[in-house]
Every structure is written in structure tokens, then in C-alpha cells.
Structure 1
């Protein structure tokens, strides 16, 4: 065998025939190409002119008993397969990472169909009778900032295709988070930031995020704090990739425990494409709303193309408000719009320019939570609404120049984020007052941020024994964050009689401020040099990489309000804060291709977070809270085996990992309400993950199974802000011990044109805790989703109709909470449940 690699994709081609067979093959190919020319074939014209001469030559050479290629062509075309493949692949299967090809396009694949000349002519068997197994399609990703088969990358990556997400009606992260074992999310009250968790490494309420969000190669997460967690809409995406474990070498401080990477469909040169859909969503015991979306690809000549995509999403609500002051049905319905404009220009073979602009906004009047433990989707303690607005936009310029030996990449990005909420917190202050219709408290937060990044890197070309990339990175982040806890409608005209210093200290334009803080400006910078190099030593690939980085965070904090005034006797407290961090994050991996069907790997990597500054809205009179907190680091040791079975129709993978999280960032609250971030303790995580993908012998039927087992626990004793000891061996929050996801999918064509697809997805998550103190219990849950679609691709615009049912059994389980014990008389606690059964009817169309 000789192995040829083209554009990062391995193709195995047999070279075992004599020159005479090769000449015969050329004649046969010319006959076949005369009937159906292949792109790029050079023998087709000769075949069109000299069929009679070719037939005569074959009769003289092989005898009249030999069947002509034209007779064999029909059986070959009728062979059953998910992808066109040459017939000899059944007798000699290629390695699982090879992509099945069209025989008309790969001339070498037809060599095995020609018999070797012997003393007596041999009559080949009809090709349709030869055994054939469909192979699992190879998935090529750019998660490592270069094109590579996902099964060759020595880390765990779960890939969800955009088509699969569309078929399941998954628009946001909460719609598909359960499909990825080891990935968790907690999203409750608007006053608490979303927590995204990978492998039990969870952020706390006000700490830096531990999981990064990346669009293409651009990190979108806040380097400090968690004011805005970007959740891009999945419409017109190519893939969503979940990379588990530290990705600090290539993505820096935003990827301590891993990243969720969104890859949009880019412009296509030389081809018009388009698609559109309208869907109607109805939720049990809730509302019904429409959603519209469309995308078009517009080529301009052969070197320029534009792609536009947009969506208007109205998500139905289910939370009812039943309060003496306010009656409202489905109060948590949300409206979202998102749009992308993309340009691709390739003026020469060497130069490629890609420019993107995208923006998204989401608005809602209520958050999806209640304050009861009976799965009653009704709020009784909300006299006023709690509106939220989340907006972001991103502009990127990606310029690439290809040399013979490497590609130079320049990536420039500018992003803006706006996050605003004004929440009724009566339930958290004096619950009985809220239930009587008296608004006793509100919490307002405004966070505006801008970010700039520039990356330059060189990426090696070719598939020789050495592959490498090296680059420099710079990012700058600036935020303006204002928080206020206040009593509404308490700014009366008579207050002007108070001394100005007192009036300005404890009142804002909204009313009496219990405490407010203002971080402005808040700056963060990261400068880094990074690189990776891989050396192929026979069947073993050795990869060494690292990132040398320096971070700096500075901010000016202003604190005012009634409680700070009582504590400090000052109208305003101003502090200039600064924290620096620097270090080196290495990566090392070994990957051994033991056989064509078995690959074994091991990886050691390190991730890191930014440090930060504390802006304390309500400090205690005897505050000992630190003014800043330090960076934390995560070491991960991972080993795995990836195997292919049954001629590449079955993939079975197993991964084991161990993680050490040092200097973890934890949110603390000291009496009366002093909230801050501190570094405490150490966490150890150990686990197993498995994945099975199987294309069954039944044409069109496929199975997927993923699972994880996780132990995420504290490794030392530490004391929380209230003086309670958190013992060694305490399970970390949002870390269910067992998670599993399974899917069965069946595709079939009826008649000549009716293409159907039916899917059933199941997910399970074990019980877990919502906080480190173990006062909030999260339920074990079993969720079942169903989808069915039918398409007429033979008609104009290929119309399709889909029916999707999520949470088919209407399970109502607690998925997020910080306290599930009975609340005291003064306050209630927010609890998040699974969304009730949701039905989606979708009509789509597309053209290519």
C-alpha cells in the first residue's frame, strides 16, 4: 500500500497491478466515461471517438467471453451504500479514516475490477453481488486551528453538525447541552450568571467562567467576571464542537476546562445556494410562537462570494405570574434576532480574505425560574417584571497567504457586548411582601464591554513528517459594569431637604440604594506567544506545544449606598485595583496508530484563568475580603483509544482522564451581604468517557451512544465566608456522576423522491448539587426527544416538512438551584426546571 494525503485527508490507493492491466483499465475507463464523463477525465474524448476500436481490441485480447464494462456499469451503480464507493472496497476495506469516493472520480479504485490475465479467461462476478458495508463519514474540523480529522486529534471532541441541530429544533445551548456527556449548564435567576461546566470544573456565581465560547477562532467570553455569556444561534452553522480539557495552548485564558466552538457555514465560491424555513413552536401549559430564518450564498465571478444569514426567533413562555398586583400568562417568552454577513475573496491561489460581521440580541420580560419545589410553573411573589437584554456583535478579518512551505494567517477581531437586567428581587428579600404585591427590592446591572484581538500565526503546509504552527496573540478588553440593589419608588420630593452628601450617598435616580458598585474602567490584557509541533515517527505522532503568556487586570471601583455609608461613613469609596499573572502552559501528547483500525493516545495539558478585582457593593463593617483574587490553573492527564470495526461502519472509543484544579476561584458572602471572590482549596477530577457510533447492516439505520462517569471532589478542607468547613471529598457543584446520551436515526427513500428521516434521542443525567455547600439538590433526569422529516428534493427548492417533539414524556425535574430545602420566612429561592414538552412544526426549502 502507498498512502497519499491531500488537504489533510488520507486516501489509501492500491498500486498492485501490472502495466498491462493499467492500459486495459484506461480503455475500460474511456468506455465508461463516454456514457457518464467524470470531472477532469482526459480519456473521455478518445472514448467518444473510438468505441468501436476499443471493443475490437478487447475482443482480440480477452476473447468473446469477457463482459464489457458497459455491462458491469449497471450493477455497480445499484450497489447499496450511504456514499458512492468503489466495489473493491468491500473485498479490501480502506482504513476507517478514509473517505469513500465516487468510482467515476477516482480512477485507481477501478483497478481491482479487472482480472489478471491467465491461460483461461476469467469472468468477473457481477459487482452488485459483492458485499459492501457503508463507512462512517470522516469529520474534518479546524478545532486545532488547522484542518484535521477529528479522530486524529489527541483530545476528546464532541461534534454536533448544524444539520443535526436543525433537525432537532435546537436553537440555543440549553437545547443541546444534554447531548454531550460531561457538559452541564445552570441558568436560573437573572441576578446570577449562567454557569457552563465541562467535566465538573464549574464556575461560581461571580467568578470567571471556566468554559470558553469561541466563534471560528475568536474567543467571545469575558476574560474576567461573567457579565455576558454569549449563546450564538445555531442557524446556518456548519458544526458545534465541544473540546474537553484545557485548550490554553491555542486559545489562552478563556479555556480553562474546555471550549464550545461554533463554526458558521462560510461563503462558497462559484455557486448559488439558499435556504429558508418557518417553524411554529408550542410548549405544554405555555404559549405558541413563530420563528423565521433564511440564508443565501451569492457568488460574484469565480473569486468572490457573499453569504447572508438571518433569523427572527420568538421563543414561547411558560411561566405564569399570579400576584395581587400583576397577572400575566407566559411571562418569560423571549424574542431574539441574529444576523451574519460574510465575504470570501480569493484573488489568487495564494491569497484568501474572509470578513465577517454578526450581531445578535435577545430580550425577555422574565427569567425561566420559579420559587417553589412542586414543579408549578407559576410565580406568586413577583409584583413587578424583570426585563433582560443581551446583545453582542463581532467583526472579524481573516487574511491568509499561502507560501510553498507554510500559510501566514492574520486574524483581527473587534467585539461589543451589552448586558442589562432590572430584576424584581422581592422574593429574595422579604417573600411575604412580594406575595402581597409589594415590591420591596430590585437589582439592576448594566455591563458594557468591548474587546479587541490580533493573532498572527504560521501554519505548516504539506503532510510530511513535521507539522507545526507558531504565533503571537494580543487581546485587550475594557468593561463598564454598574450594579445597584435598591428599593423602588422611594425617591420622594422631600428628600431634597437632606444634606447633599447624604442624599448622593444613599439615593440614585431609581430610589433608595442599599448598595451599588461601579467598575469603570475595568481593563484586561493578554499577550502571548504560542506554538505546537508534531513529528511523525513511523506509526507514532509526538506533539509538543506551549503558550507563554502574561495577563494584567486593572480597575477603578466606586462603592456607595446606604449600607456602605453606614459601614464607612463616606458617601463614596474609590479604589484603584490591579492584579498581574504570567506563566507557561505546556502541552504534550503521543498518538500511536497501532493498526489501521486502532489508535491510542495520551495527552498532558495545562489551562489557566485570569485573576480579577473585587467590586463589593455592600461591604461589612469589619470587612476582611481581599481586594483582588489570583489566577487558577488546571492540569489534565488524558488517555484514550479509538477503534474502527466492521469495515469502518463501527467506531468505539474510550477515554480516561484525571484533573487537578489548583487555586480555584470561589464566590463568598460575608454578613450582612458582602459578596466577593477568593481563591481557596484544590479540586481533583477523575472520570471515564465512551462513545460508540454504528452504521447498522440495515440501510439507513444508525446508532449513537455516549456516556461519562465522573468524580469531581475537593482535595483539601477549606472554610467558607460564614465559618463553615467544606470537608475534603465534597462533590463539586454541577458534576453528576453519570451522564449518557443515545440516539437512533433511520433514513429511507420511498419511491423515487420521498426522502424521510426519523430520529429518537435519549439523555440521562444523574443527581447533582447546585452549590458547594450542598444545600441545593438537582434531580436525576431522563429526557426523550423525537424528530421526523420528509423532503422532496426532486421539486423546485426541495421543500421539507419536519415534526419535532422535545421532552416527549414531559418530565419536570430541577436542573438548577442553590437551595432546595424549605426556605425561611424572609426569603424564597429561585429554582429552574426542565422545559415542559415542546412541539415544533417546521417547513423548509433550499436550493443548490
Structure 2
């Protein structure tokens, strides 16, 4: 699914599972435009040149992507549809400076996103707090604590996907320590009806074949009311064979989503939008590859390993234009998330002759958000935003490592409650109930100086609280004390930016900003409060919040009558009180937990170039990023491992490169297009102890398209091949240590590769 690329978006790149072309990174520049109704923030010609820009709303105002005060890549929704993007893997790797270590658990905490070397770590399935927030508009979907369920929204019928790099604490609070990914859905339109969709066949080399179907409809009702409905059924073929079960392509996935929206605009001043979204995903068999030779097989799971996730969101967005006083915006949301998994865990105990250990997990999350802000009009040298935000989040998580087939028809006996559960004999259980709250006031003020200069200053005043309990049980957990925490934190996250723009073709800026992050309770309670040979050193019951300071200097230029854009940004950041996942190896069970380990410093440069050549329809995109993210202080892990100062951060490659050449031109009544794209990500490590290497691969994508825009429904046919050379790029690694009595057992490697060579044939339509 290779496509042309551009962050400013004549055309954006797209690919497949970290194997795609790259949109150009944009450089932040200050803006003082007023917040406008969402319908004005669509993809459109915001410049006088041949490179079409995208309008974004990431700074609470609708502005051209080249005029916002943050580093941002924006991908237009229609580009995502044309290129067949299916999930976040299809575009996250196209942006230098941001990487994703994938996991077989997918939406249930399996993905770890890193920006400029700062991201969550993971050991044996235990992950730290997320450092990059994911949002629907301004509503956070990311768990503020840990990483239980983060839905991977289908990118169909979106206005834009906006990827912001650097701390976004002023705008988005604790959910965006060092970046944010915003999904901006299309809102109902009052003045036109619309019906568009597609049908797609997907075939994976050495895997299966299946179809995906999607449709969206917009219906005006009178002059002041409109509704919009969107539905997607996505079937992703499997490609990993479960050898023990003699099942081919066992890891197939089915995901469906529906979205309904109602818009009411009784006057030019009032605009009310209601939205309900529901998404469900199921993976038949959660499998990693257990060999390094590239064979897509697993021989460690005699039993099935299924996982299901669900996401429900209801929201209201009401805006009232008061005139001279500005626009009042009220946003509220209620969301429910859940995950249910029952995984074969034989690889932990098989060496001890126990072939029936399973891991059951059930998660339920409920969250509410409320935000009220006032945005000034843009009719002078001063502009400002003031707002208040409240978030409340609660999760109930229960896990049970049990032995299949050991359930007994016994009457309830208190003495057995700790070791006999509804599923059978329990090796270990954990039940946690964390609650997180954030209360914030924020503001931003921009002043235009001497026509060419702009000074922007802002801050967020916040209070956070994380509380909860963790209770252990089972054969191992009976010797472990319960844990309870109640942490409070408060502070100020400031931001200041100064830019100089003597002409439309040149801009230079400097920005200083701070982000912050929740602390938390350690979920894997499996240790005693003193050092001992059974459970090892004591595990800290909680970990503290962290903060990040980011400094940027950037230059943005336009050449050749705005047909050539060349940008560069330099950054230098410090992550203080950084959170890492650590592990204690002991006789009973490996103990994993999160701790604070000092400071991380990251420096780098990101550059981009987009050129609309004199040959009509031929676009060239190039993007590159270099990053050096290192620990700034030495520390000793609880297991005695030494991590010296200057250690490279996990999931942090030094180099990312991307290039795309695309062409689209009418030939008679036909619109013909094609693209070729390549990306490269250099080597990185999966943990702070450098247990394994990941990435270090390139991927080539090709695309062809044929359309008849003059016919009813504008039918279009596209054919894409991703990962043309069928590379086995590693985007996730791990090693699981089995047990053999009390002496330890063999290590089983785990590999997650980019999706093998994939062919996609898509037929789309658009009536309006």
C-alpha cells in the first residue's frame, strides 16, 4: 500500500506494519488563529502553491499544518482511505522520530510507542505508563496508568490523523508526556449528502486471504441538523502456523467498528456535536514466532490463546461564538474499555512437565473527561486560550495463572479460596483496582511583535492523584502481602515559543516546553517485603511521576513558488525521574515491576523535503531523522544489573529514513496513479539492559491506482504490494524463562516481524 508522502500534504505516505513510505515531519511555528467550527478544518488548499496543505486543530485552533506551534505530521483522511491504511501500523513508521515496538496482544497493551527515544519499556508483558497519548479529537484513549487497553481505531472516514512530537502538557495534560496521536473524525455536514466506501481483498504471502468492507453516509435533515454513520468490518488473515495444534495461519484477527454522529447548528453562533463510537476486536490465537530463521511458525503452544477487546465512547462537543469575547467550548466524554484473554502459558512450565498452565486476564476500564475553554477571536495583535480540564479513570484488572483441568466440584472452603479458583488450581493471581484523576487549569497567550515576530507563552497548572490496591493469591501469592497506594502530585508545565517570519517563504523558531506523567502502583505483586531466596529482593509497591523538558530550534522554508518545501528541526530533551520496567529472577517466579531511575537525555535532528516537480503530478518526498537517546545517570537495577550512564534507550534507533516517488495524472477520462516507497529503521534494543536487538530493516512498497471520477460514484481500483521483498523486520522481541522445579528452565525466544509481503486489491466508491 505504498503512497506518496507529505506531512503538509499534497499526498501522504502509507505502508504496512512499520514498512511504509514517510510523510515529511513539520516544524512548529506559532499561530494565533481563532478556534473555528470543525467543518472548516478539512483538507484543503491553504497555500498559494501546488503543494496542498492540511488544516489541523491540535492547538485548539483550526490552522494550516505549517502555522502551528508544535512539531506535527498530519495525514489527510482521504489519503488514508485511498492507500488502504488499516491500523496504526500502516502509518506510524512513516514519521521519523517515532517508533513502535509491536506486541502480539495488540490493543490489550501490546504496543509501545516511542518518540525521540522516550517511551515505555516492557518485560514479560508488564509495561510502564505510556508516554505518547492517543486521542479522538481532544478525548484521551490512552490509559493514564499502565497500558491495559488502547484501541487501534480504524482510519476509515477520518478528517485527519495528527502526530505531534514533543511534550503536549499544556494542551493535553498527563496523557501526552512526549507526544500525541490525534484521530479527528469527519463530522456531519449540513449542506450535502454523501455515501462512500470500499471493498478490499487482502492476501498475505505464506498466509491466508480475507476481505474488508466499509461504508460511511452523511444525511442532512433540514437546514440545521445532520447525521453521519460509519461502519467497518475488517478481517485480517493470519500467517503464523501453530505447529503443536497443526493449525495454519492461526493468528487471524477480526475487528469491527461503528460510529454515529449528530450535529445541530440552530444559529451561526451555536454548534453542537454528539458522537457514539463502538469497536470490537478478536484475535483467534495470540502467537509470536519462536525462531530466528524467518519461518512463520510457533511450536510452544499446545492450547489456544484468544484475546478480545472492546471500546465504547460517547461524547458531546458544544461551541458558542460570543463575538468579541471569543468562542466557548464545552467537551465531555464517557468511555468504557474491556479486554478478555485466556492464553496458553506452557512455555513457562513445560520444562517441568506441566503442559496445562494458562493465563486468564479480565480488564474493565471506565473513564470520564470534562473540558471547558474560551478561545479568543483573531482580530488583533493579542490572542489567547484559557481552559479547565478534569479526568477520572478507574480500572478493575484480574489475572489468574491456573492449571487447566484442575477445577474440582468441592463446596466452598475458606481455606482453599486462595489457591482454588473458578478455573482450577491457581499458581498465582493478582487483582488490582487503580484510580487516576487529573484536575488542571491551562492558558496560552500570543503576542505579535513588529509584524515579523510572535511570542507565545502558556502553562498548565495541574493536580494528579493515583490510588489503588493490589491483592495477590494462588500458590505463590499466598505468601505475598497486599499493596495499597495513594499518591498525589501537583505542578506547572510551562511552554514558551518565539518565532521570526520575515516572509511567507522563511520561518525560524525556538520553543521550550515541559510535559508530565502519572506515577502508579506496581501490578505484579509477587515478592516479600524483605530479600529472600524465594521471591528475591523486595519490589517497590509504587513508582513516582516523571517530567520532561524539551528544547527545539527549527527552520521552515518554501522555494520555487511554493513547489518545494524544506524543513529542519533540532531538539534536546531531558526526561527526569524516568520510569523503567525491571525484573527480578528468583526461584519461585520472575518478578516484574516499574521503578524510577534518574535521567535520560535525547538529542537529534529531523529533516524533510517535498518537491512538486515541473512534471504535473510527479511528487518527490524525502525524510530523515537522527536521534541519540542515552541515560544521563548510572543506576543499579534491583537484580544487581549495572546500567551505566550513556546507555542507549530501548526502542530508540539512531537513524530513520524514508523516500517516496509518486505520480498521478489524468489520461482522457481515466485518472492513473502509481508510487514507489522505501523506509529504513536502524538497529535498536528492546530493553534498557539491551537483552535483544530490534528493527534494523528496510521495506519497499509499490502501489497502482485507476479511477473514473467522471462516472457516478467515482469508482476507483487500487492494487498495492507492501513489503515487496518479503523482509523479516523485527518490531518486537522477548525471551520467556521457563521453570523446572526450583532450578529454572530453558529460555524461549519470541519474535514479532513486520507483516510478510501483502497484496491488496480495493474497489472504492464515492457518491455525493
TM-score (norm 1): 0.81
| Contact 1:535-1:541 within 8 A present in 2 as well | yes
1:665 correspondence with 2:579? yes
| Contact 1:282-1:838 within 8 A present in 2 as well | yes
CA deviation profile, 1:512-561 (whole Å, cap 9, x unmatched): 222111113x2111100001111011211100000000011111222111
Which piece of structure 1 moves more, 605-614 or 501-510? 501-510
Matches within 5 A, 1:438-837: 439-493=355-409, 500-520=413-433, 522-537=434-449, 538-565=451-478, 567-568=479-480, 573-620=481-528, 622=530, 623-670=537-584, 671=586, 672-751=589-668, 753-819=669-735, 826-837=746-757
2:66 is paired with a residue whose SS is helix
Return the match for 1:319 from 217, 222, 240.
240
Aligned to 1:845: 765
CA deviation profile, 1:455-476 (whole Å, cap 9, x unmatched): 0000011242111110001111
| Contact 1:702-1:745 within 8 A present in 2 as well | yes
In structure 2, the CA distance between the partners of 1:379 and 1:142, relative to structure 1 (3 Å rule), is same
Aligned to 1:135: 50
Q: Distance between the aligned counterparts of 1:837 and 1:432, measured in 2?
A: 38
Q: Distance between the aligned counterparts of 1:292 and 1:189, measured in 2?
A: 24
Asked which structure has the greater CA Rg, the reply is 1
Return the match for 1:300 from 186, 204, 221.
221
Aligned to 2:307: 388
Q: Distance between the aligned counterparts of 1:241 and 1:428, measured in 2?
A: 41
Tell me the CA shift for residue 819 of structure 1: 4.5
Tell me the CA shift for residue 667 of structure 1: 1.4
2:80 is paired with a residue whose SS is helix
| Contact 1:776-1:821 within 8 A present in 2 as well | no
Aligned to 2:93: 178
1:208 correspondence with 2:129? yes
Tell me the CA shift for residue 327 of structure 1: 1.4
| Contact 1:8-1:149 within 8 A present in 2 as well | no
- Structure with the largest fraction of strand: 2
Q: Which has the higher contact order (CA 8 A, sep 6+)?
A: 2
Aligned to 1:53: none
| Contact 2:33-2:377 within 8 A present in 1 as well | no
In structure 2, the CA distance between the partners of 1:574 and 1:725, relative to structure 1 (3 Å rule), is closer
| Contact 1:666-1:679 within 8 A present in 2 as well | yes
Q: Distance between the aligned counterparts of 1:457 and 1:217, measured in 2?
A: 12
Tell me the CA shift for residue 563 of structure 1: 1.1
CA deviation profile, 1:234-274 (whole Å, cap 9, x unmatched): 00111111100000001000001100111111111110111
Aligned to 2:115: 198
Aligned to 1:347: 266
Which piece of structure 1 moves more, 641-650 or 476-485? 476-485
| Contact 1:563-1:619 within 8 A present in 2 as well | no
Return the match for 1:99 from 29, 36, 47.
47
- Structure with the largest fraction of helix: 1
Unpaired runs of at least 5, structure 2: 1-31, 37-42, 531-536
Tell me the CA shift for residue 734 of structure 1: 0.5
CA deviation profile, 1:553-582 (whole Å, cap 9, x unmatched): 1112221111122x35xxxx5443211111
Tell me the CA shift for residue 284 of structure 1: 0.2
Return the match for 1:402 from 321, 324, 327.
321
| Contact 1:733-1:768 within 8 A present in 2 as well | yes
CA deviation profile, 1:178-235 (whole Å, cap 9, x unmatched): 1111111112243863211111111022211111001111111111110012211100
| Contact 2:403-2:427 within 8 A present in 1 as well | yes
CA deviation profile, 1:298-335 (whole Å, cap 9, x unmatched): 01122111111110000010011111xx2111111000
Q: Distance between the aligned counterparts of 2:289 and 2:511, measured in 1?
A: 43
In structure 2, the CA distance between the partners of 1:463 and 1:741, relative to structure 1 (3 Å rule), is farther
Aligned to 2:295: 376
Q: Distance between the aligned counterparts of 2:91 and 2:738, measured in 1?
A: 31
Tell me the CA shift for residue 339 of structure 1: 1.0
Aligned to 2:103: 188
1:240 correspondence with 2:161? yes
Q: Distance between the aligned counterparts of 2:724 and 2:583, measured in 1?
A: 40
Unpaired runs of at least 5, structure 1: 10-82, 85-96, 101-133
Tell me the CA shift for residue 168 of structure 1: 2.4
CA deviation profile, 1:666-718 (whole Å, cap 9, x unmatched): 11222342222211121110000001111000001111111100001111111
| Contact 1:534-1:542 within 8 A present in 2 as well | yes
1:430 is paired with a residue whose SS is helix
Q: Distance between the aligned counterparts of 1:266 and 1:621, measured in 2?
A: 54
Count of aligned pairs between the two proteins? 710
1:258 correspondence with 2:179? yes
